């Protein structure tokens, strides 16, 4: 077992069904993972018309790993390999999950893993009258759809999951206090925005003094607005990249 994390107590805020791998990496590298999910994720059954629209689209854009996981079930057996839409992924983790599921990817950003990064790609510059379906959870940001519409595309959504705010009791908050965390990780802006409502003022104030590892500039901006001072952005949203960021942090090479 590596001791790169030097006994750090790290809060992992991913939904429970997605937290295992990051927690395992933290434990294997000499840290202790404290699970405190800020989102619950559950399936949402799309309307039949939304599925038909996705089947006939020119492009399917997957916004997250969750979008892939739940779309596999929602679209099972409905898309012909021969006439399948082109597939785009916003991030590398999403692209990897699509490949694992046997989907052929036509487009993914190489550096900026965000809506802005996807919009900057050449294939999304000239898309007038293209039928594009954004595969996502219920709600979410509208920037991608708005910009694609301005460029002349026909935009629809295939919403395959929903996000809910978990309920944490006093016992789970006591665990965080007793573990004396030294950092926390955040992989979702919506999850981060749930945090103040789930903590008492004293515990929130304590966490605001800790380094917070985020996976995008946008989430970092939300963290700043919520009062966090030491904001560190991982180069990617993958568990491996988050671990790399944490390792750098606890070995004195990152000033925050």
pTM for the full predicted model:
0.80
The total of structural domains in the chain comes to 2
Domain for residue 4, yes or no?
no
pLDDT in tens, 42-70: 999 999 999 999 999 999 999 998 999 99
pLDDT band at 256 (very low <50, low <70, confident <90, very high): very low
134 and 118 share a domain? Answer: yes
* Tokens read off for 109: 């950003």
CA distance 102 to 122: 25
177 and 119 share a domain? Answer: no
pLDDT band at 76 (very low <50, low <70, confident <90, very high): confident
Residue 255 pLDDT exceeds 50: no
142 and 175 share a domain? Answer: no
93 and 139 share a domain? Answer: yes
CA distance 228 to 231: 7
Residue in the structure block whose two tokens are 């939904």: 15
What average pLDDT score do residues 105-121 get? 89
Domain that holds residue 35: 9-39+167-249
Predicted local confidence at residue 56, as pLDDT: 93
pLDDT band at 167 (very low <50, low <70, confident <90, very high): confident
The answer to whether 108 and 88 have CB atoms below 8 angstroms apart is yes
Indicate the residue among 121, 137, 163 that finishes a domain: 163
Domain for residue 254, yes or no?
no
150 and 114 share a domain? Answer: yes
pLDDT band at 253 (very low <50, low <70, confident <90, very high): low
For every residue of the chain, DSSP letters joined together read ---TTTT-EEEE-S-HHHHHHHHHHHHHTT-EEEE--S-EEEE-PPPHHHHHHHHT-SEEEE-SHHHHHHHHHHTTTTS-STTPPEEEESSHHHHHHHHHTTPPP-B--SS--SHHHHHTSGGGTS-TT-EEEEEEESS---HHHHHHHHTT-EEEEEEEEEEE-----HHHHHHHHHH---EEE---HHHHHHHHHHS-HHHHHHHHTSEEEESSHHHHHHHHHTT--EEEE-SSSSHHHHHHHHHHHTTT----
Residue 234 pLDDT exceeds 70: yes
Residue 198 pLDDT exceeds 80: yes
What's the CATH code of the domain at 193?
A: 3.40.50.10090
Domain for residue 140, yes or no?
yes
Q: Comparing 71-75, 112-116, 122-126, which segment has the lowest mean pLDDT?
A: 112-116
What average pLDDT score do residues 15-28 get? 93
Domain for residue 2, yes or no?
no
142 and 192 share a domain? Answer: no
What average pLDDT score do residues 137-156 get? 93
Smallest Cα–Cα separation from 211: which of 174, 245, 179?
Answer: 245
Q: Specify which residues 87 forms β-bridges with.
A: 60
Domain for residue 255, yes or no?
no
139 and 57 share a domain? Answer: yes
Indicate the residue among 118, 139, 163 that finishes a domain: 163
Residue 169 pLDDT exceeds 80: no
Predicted local confidence at residue 254, as pLDDT: 47
List CB contacts of 215: < 8 A, sequence separation 6 or more. Answer: 113, 186, 187, 233, 234, 236, 237, 241, 242
Domain for residue 256, yes or no?
no
The answer to whether 112 and 103 have CB atoms below 8 angstroms apart is no
pLDDT band at 175 (very low <50, low <70, confident <90, very high): confident
Q: Which of 239 and 76 is assigned the larger pLDDT?
A: 239
* Tokens read off for 232: 């560190």
The answer to whether 13 and 41 have CB atoms below 8 angstroms apart is no
117 and 218 share a domain? Answer: no
Indicate the residue among 143, 163, 183 that finishes a domain: 163
49 and 110 share a domain? Answer: yes
142 and 171 share a domain? Answer: no
143 and 50 share a domain? Answer: yes
Q: Which of 155 and 115 is assigned the larger pLDDT?
A: 155
149 and 187 share a domain? Answer: no
Express as a percent the part of the chain with pLDDT over 90: 72
């Amino acid at each position: 077992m590596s001791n790169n994390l030097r006994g750090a107590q790290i809060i992992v805020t991913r939904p429970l069904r997605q937290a295992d791998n990051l927690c395992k990496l933290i434990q294997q590298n000499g840290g202790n993972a404290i699970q405190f999910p800020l989102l619950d994720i559950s399936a949402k059954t799309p309307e039949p018309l939304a599925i038909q629209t996705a089947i006939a689209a020119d492009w399917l854009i997957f916004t997250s790993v969750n979008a892939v996981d739940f779309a596999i079930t929602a679209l099972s057996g409905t898309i012909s390999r021969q006439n399948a839409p082109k597939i785009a992924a916003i991030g590398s983790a999403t692209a990897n999950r699509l490949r694992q599921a046997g989907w052929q990817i036509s487009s993914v950003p190489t550096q900026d893993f965000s809506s802005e990064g996807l919009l900057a790609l050449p294939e999304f510059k000239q898309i007038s009258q293209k039928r594009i379906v954004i595969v996502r959870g219920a709600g979410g940001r509208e920037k991608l759809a708005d910009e694609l519409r301005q460029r002349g595309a026909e935009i629809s959504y295939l919403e395959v999951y929903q996000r809910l705010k978990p309920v944490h009791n006093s016992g789970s908050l006591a665990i965080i206090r007793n573990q004396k965390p030294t950092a926390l990780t955040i992989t979702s802006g919506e999850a981060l925005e749930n945090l103040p409502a789930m903590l008492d003022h004293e515990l929130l104030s304590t966490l605001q003094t800790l380094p917070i590892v985020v996976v995008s500039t946008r989430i970092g901006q939300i963290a700043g607005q919520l009062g966090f001072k030491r904001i560190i952005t991982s180069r990617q949203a993958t568990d491996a990249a988050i671990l790399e960021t944490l390792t750098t942090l606890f070995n004195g090479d990152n000033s925050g």
